[in-house]
Amino acid sequence: MSESERYPKKWTAFGMVILGMLLPLLLVGFFVKSPEDLMAGNVRTFIFLGEILIIIPPVIYAYRKEYNLRELFRWSQVPITALFWAFLAGLGISILVDEMDRLFSIFVSPPDWLTQSMDLFRITSFTDFLLLVGGVSVIAPIAEEIMFRGFLQTSLEYREQDATKAILITALAFAIIHMNSYWVVQIYLFGVALSYFSWRTQSIFPGMIVHMTINGFSILLTNLTFHDQMGWYQMGEHVSPVWLVFGAGAFYIGFKKINQLFPLDERRSQTILEKPEDNETSLYRQ
């Protein structure tokens, strides 16, 4: 395979992502027969199966084109300590973003559809637990990190030869695909953080842990709210200052430790090539 064919072309990568997001919509016809079904357990099954389907087009495409799957999807091993610091950073992000949502709601009231959709994440049975925790907290982060921070971002980094541009574009695509106008800013910032971790560590696994932590924390808070068990965490309608300090500290420490584990002067990018004038043998730029 020639050097120019090591990664998908930019618009091909976008096409595979769009196709991957369209596949789950085909399931709607099987699980959603009427508007009332939107609040039914069928949609939880749809979420679970839909997240599995989104990675099928990019994975099949990459396999048929004989790309190096481990390199393209960034299935690179990282130290166990990196996963712990990623979890800590994800916990910090979860708390800070929760307070951001509460502050934002002071100025812009959440739409009715968003408030009603929270019922979808209410766990009332063991089946609900398996579908929601399995689908939202495990399957969704794995699938979305493979597709966005792996397939799409890696392709953009190589084709654009600009890591910052690739990170910002990938985060934007991630926010748009979620089709949630009320949370678009939060999702975008969340996507930037995940994309940064992917680029810095040259692996999707730290970002995957961050993603799992945030989604799991959201489900936990949603169900505690339904049962009016938030006194330990809230002060009035906002996150307690103690938890905000903890969240800020957790994010700072987790972020700093990951950067220390992957110093820029020791890493070699798989995607950003050195300029010819910098190195005649065209090694990879740091």
**Hey, where are the domains in the chain?**
3-261
Q: Does the pLDDT value for residue 110 go beyond 90?
A: no
> pLDDT tens digits for 173-201?
999 988 888 889 889 999 999 999 999 99
Instruction: Please give the average per-residue pLDDT across 111-132, as a whole number.
Output: 83
Instruction: Please give the average per-residue pLDDT across 27-49, as a whole number.
Output: 64
H or E segment to which residue 94 belongs: helix 80-107
CA pair distance 124, 132, nearest whole angstrom: 11
Q: Does the pLDDT value for residue 279 go beyond 50?
A: no
pLDDT for the residue numbered 56: 93
**What length does the chain have?**
286
Instruction: Please give the average per-residue pLDDT across 210-222, as a whole number.
Output: 95
Instruction: Please give the average per-residue pLDDT across 43-47, as a whole number.
Output: 73
Single-letter amino acid, residue 181: S
CA pair distance 286, 93, nearest whole angstrom: 28
Task: Record the tokens describing residue 21, joined without a space.
Answer: 């997001």
Confidence of residue 40 (pLDDT cuts 50, 70, 90): low
204 burial (CB, 10 Å; 0-12 / 13-18 / 19+) is buried
CA pair distance 180, 162, nearest whole angstrom: 28
> pLDDT tens digits for 47-98?
778 888 899 999 999 999 999 999 999 999 999 999 999 999 999 999 999 9
Residue 238 backbone dihedrals phi, psi, to 5 degrees: -125, 165
Q: Enumerate residues 6+ apart whose C-beta is below 8 A from 110.
A: 182
Please name the residue that has the structure tokens 């939880």. 44
Task: Find out whether 255 and 173 touch, Cβ atoms under 8 Å.
Answer: no
Confidence of residue 243 (pLDDT cuts 50, 70, 90): very high
Give, as one character, the DSSP assignment of residue 271.
S
Instruction: Please give the average per-residue pLDDT across 116-135, as a whole number.
Output: 84
What does pLDDT average to over the chain? 87
Instruction: Please give the average per-residue pLDDT across 124-128, as a whole number.
Output: 85
DSSP secondary structure, 143-176, as one string:
HHIIIIIIIIHHHHHHHH--HHHHHHHHHHHHHH
CA pair distance 114, 105, nearest whole angstrom: 12
Instruction: Please give the average per-residue pLDDT across 216-229, as a whole number.
Output: 90
CA pair distance 204, 198, nearest whole angstrom: 5
The CA distances from residue 245 to 213, 235, 252, 274, in Å, are 18, 13, 11, 41
CA nearest neighbour of 172 among 6, 17, 47: 17
Residue 21 backbone dihedrals phi, psi, to 5 degrees: -75, -25
